[in-house]
Structure 1
Amino acid sequence: MKFPMMMATAVTALTLGHTAQAAEPLKVGISGEPYPPFTYKAASGDWTGFEVELAHAFCDAMGRECEIAPTGWSGIIPSLNAGRIDMIMNSMSITEKRKRVIDFTRPYYFTPGAYVAASDQALDIPDGLDGLVMGVQSATTNATYARRALRDSGVDIRLYDQAEQVNNDLLSGRLDVILADEIAMVQFLDRDEAEAFEIKATAPLHEAYGEGIGIGLRQEDDELREALNAAITTVIEDGTCASLSEQYLSTDVCVYD
């Protein structure tokens, strides 16, 4: 008579354990270094931006709670695979190289790389880069593109850990030109201190830029990938993605089926 009761107790405990686990917030890894307008801290100290708000929209569509988890960019993939975060949502391009170590959802947005230099500087891209110093954030698709496509252009490519370091060295004259995400550069050029600079050209389509921006996941997280793919489709089709994109980026960069 006691055996069924013990079994029922064990099953109840197991069920509660699974429920508690399912209720845990998804830890969304973003770079600890602000990357406006995609991820940055508001005056309140809370993280906001296009991808932060989009992450919350995806989680809402799944009926899950999100917890923003700032992580150093250079260690964000190891943090994912070690289980310290559940997903990467930080303008990470879907590339073959990255797919060797992590998985991705379907793409949710895409923007090209852009060259930025002083407005009064005549610049022919890529032939006119010879002898110039160009800054690029390391471990990005722009850095990969620069190494593969510009190695014979004569440009001196300098890699930086953080995007803001690249911007600051352009402003201070330590760089002649930078290559970075076009949307981020549009926001950068809105600053008063950047009024003497402009976008000179955008990078052409190239394998280094992959298939667009997706959410990075552990390779074994098939269930989460499927749930996120459905959420991405919902948030794009109901107009939420476009609305957030227009709000933060002043254009629609969402990837539609």
Structure 2
Amino acid sequence: MNKTVLLGALALCAFSFVARADDAPLRIGIEASYPPFSMKTPEGEISGFDYDIGNALCEEMKIKCTWVVQEFDGMIPSLKVRKVDAVLSSMSITEDRLKSVDFSKKYYHTPGKFAMKAGNVINDPLVDLKGKRVGVQRSSTYDRFATQKLETAGVVVVRYSTQSEAFLDLVSGRLDATLADIIYTDESFIKTPLGQGYALVGPDINDPAFFGRGAGIAVRKGDKANADRLSAAIDAIRANGKYEQVMTKYFTYDIYGQR
């Protein structure tokens, strides 16, 4: 084999390797216990806004996606050890997380809110909740906010693997309040039979120092290729109407937030 043919063969092999890498399935981590963003149907299938948005993005990028269900606090570790290639599970883009992972652009942005028995009033959470027991989901942005703001003000912070566990303890009287995303709390608790007699209370909790600039798709640190193509796909499905189709399936209002 002459030198020209050899170089050509090597180049073709390199191109084929890149093509195969680009076409490889994208393994996406999701919690599947955070309705209406992610949950399982009675048949055990994954569903929800996050899941449908992820599938729309994969269709736009023309790649196959496989979903890996796990608890939220294991998402970033799984990303680091390459168990998954991306995390699409309502993960807020924060400066703290950006030290460990990279993100696509946001795909939605909503504030947090306290849930308590109806009739309670919160003007200043740091004052009005002092000595009270407040539940948050472990490793969430609400956990970080509660640790640095509420706990130091004398609030007793109780951490849970899932937010649904916190709702159960609120109803059973083991908590005075819980803090989570306003949409999740409203749709998955307040509007359900379990949440009868409870209400969203107090100011919106959306300090950018803790809650960043919305929920994005996490990728490994330095994985600019996936971050960029996911961001481009988010722009594309917002432009072609697929984002709105998914959003209106779950919500009656725009959850994307300010541009």
Q: CA deviation at 1:156?
A: 1.2
| Residue in structure 1 matching 2:211, options 189, 209, 212 | 209
Q: Which runs of 5+ in 2 are unaligned?
A: none
Matches within 5 A, 1:187-202: 187=187, 188-202=189-203
Distance of 2:152 and 2:12 partners within structure 1: 66
Identify the residue that residue 249 of structure 1 maps to in structure 2. Answer: 251
TM-score (norm 2): 0.89
Is the CA contact 1:236–1:256 (under 8 Å) kept in the aligned structure 2?
Answer: no
Distance of 1:202 and 1:54 partners within structure 2: 29
Distance of 2:181 and 2:251 partners within structure 1: 12
Matches within 5 A, 1:34-113: 34-113=33-112
Measured against aligned partners, the alpha-carbon deviations of 1:81-113 in whole angstroms (never above 9, x if no partner) come to: 111111111111111111111111111111111
Q: CA deviation at 1:220?
A: 2.1
Is the CA contact 1:138–1:159 (under 8 Å) kept in the aligned structure 2?
Answer: yes
Identify the residue that residue 162 of structure 1 maps to in structure 2. Answer: 162
Q: Which moved more, 1:152-161 or 1:118-127?
A: 118-127
Is the CA contact 1:109–1:213 (under 8 Å) kept in the aligned structure 2?
Answer: yes
TM-score (norm 1): 0.90
Distance of 2:3 and 2:239 partners within structure 1: 52
SS in structure 2 opposite 1:68? Answer: strand
Quote the RMSD (CA, aligned, Å). 2.2
Q: CA deviation at 1:7?
A: 6.8
Code of the aligned partner of 2:35: P
| Residue in structure 1 matching 2:230, options 222, 228, 231 | 228
Q: CA deviation at 1:169?
A: 0.5
Q: CA deviation at 1:221?
A: 1.3
Measured against aligned partners, the alpha-carbon deviations of 1:111-148 in whole angstroms (never above 9, x if no partner) come to: 11110011143444423212211111111111122222
Q: Which runs of 5+ in 1 are unaligned?
A: none
Q: CA deviation at 1:5?
A: 7.1
Distance of 1:237 and 1:9 partners within structure 2: 41
Give the number of aligned pairs: 256
Is the CA contact 1:27–1:68 (under 8 Å) kept in the aligned structure 2?
Answer: yes
Distance of 2:258 and 2:135 partners within structure 1: 32
Code of the aligned partner of 1:243: Q
